[in-house]
Structure 1
Amino acid sequence: MIREFFAGIRILGRGFGLWRTHPKLLALGLIPAIIAFLLLAGALIPLGFALGSITDWVTPFADNWVSPWQELLRFSLGAVILVAALALSGAVFTALTLTIGDPFYQRIWRGIERSLGGPEPTGDTGLLTTIGEGIRLVVLGILVALLTLVIGFIPVVGGVLASVIGVILSGRLVARELTGRAFDARGLTAHSRSALLRSGRARVIGFGVATQLCFLIPLGAIITMPAAVAGSTILARSLTERAAPPHA
């Protein structure tokens, strides 16, 4: 399992390596990523500035608490809210970027498929499918953020536990969404796609966690997104080939 987890991280590394060998192809994904990043930053930055007011409003019962307990409570609450927002941000950023830049990312994953050799999948991966998957991703991302928020209130270990679980769950969601084009082009049903992702769960989580952590680096999401699309194509190919019968 550990080996598979790190295999997923290495696949994202291969995606980054394609910036060197296919710079023009991956550069197609920069503009949609920049637009999505600016839209998301427009929501997260005001949230950051408003955290103090939000925590004060949520905890009026602590107004008369003595120092440092009042500050500690409100700081912890602010940190939990921020962790939940960041857990959601990866899903929203991925959904927005893939929807805005659908034609560009179509060219990226098809180009990577051709570079990997073998028959190129030609199934339908239309814009409506992308929008539907994006909505599903955001809804699931909201659920992950709410779960992260609840876990964050566990005494002592809540903050750390919420951060770890938030990154793992949101990373898995991002990995599932990113592999969608490659799986859809192979004509896989939702059930078959879920089965493939389960068969390589540790690899998928490794890839997703690495991608999510790169998204959290300032401006890292912009450079990471094209590499993640390329890496997810490699991930989908590896899972499909591993599941194929020996004679196929």
Structure 2
Amino acid sequence: MKSPLSLFAAVLLGALLPGRAAALEPFVADYQVYNGGKALGDATMQVLPSSGAGRWRIDLDIRAERGMMGLAGAAAQQSTVFDLVGDAYRPLSQALVRKVVFSKRQVIGTYDWNARSARWTGDLKDTRKQPIALQDGDMSGLLINLAVIRDAQPGKTLNYRFVDGGRARPHQYLVAQELESVKVGDMSFNAMRVNRVQSGNEETVIWVVDGVPTPVRILQRENGQDTYDLRLVEYKGVP
């Protein structure tokens, strides 16, 4: 974990250099997972170099000790391999595995930028196995999290195209004008609250601290109730 001094320095540097595009750096971040204020398990998000020149991988591994999805021992692992085109995160492949005691669901996705087409196989509806035409700037859900970290500025509107799991749809996020206090481990920082604008009964909120490469908190709600709440415990850079 970064020391309080180095974490403070990173946040201070971010405050002094607003609007900059931070260079992508490898990290590993640990989260506590909550639902309705109750701890359910742990999660790890990491960004690491992948095999192949200029390739990276982002992973999110959620491990429920109790309660999540109604059964003990539930888990979900997501991963996207990507490269950089300018400042854009371009997905190349994707994997999703969900386990709930006696069942397992696995989905694999491939983004073919030469053919400008993405396709998924595995345990999903036939309608989601149809190819999707790719557009410049398309990203998986995990990559959109990274883009929000890179792009967030108070009062800014962020627009992305989500292409993930056999679906394509616009995602719009609004960054609050004012900063708010958020705890990171034993320390509190002023964070940007970023709300995804969604229709229906879903809500996503991401809290971003300038200089920290990962969200300090990710909250998902449905029908006004928390479905999962990831709160950062610690993070560290990877040499």
TM over 0.5: no
Q: Choose between structure 1 and 2 for higher RCO, CA contacts under 8 A separated by at least 6 residues.
A: 1
Pick the structure with more strand per residue: 2
Q: Which has the larger radius of gyration?
A: 1
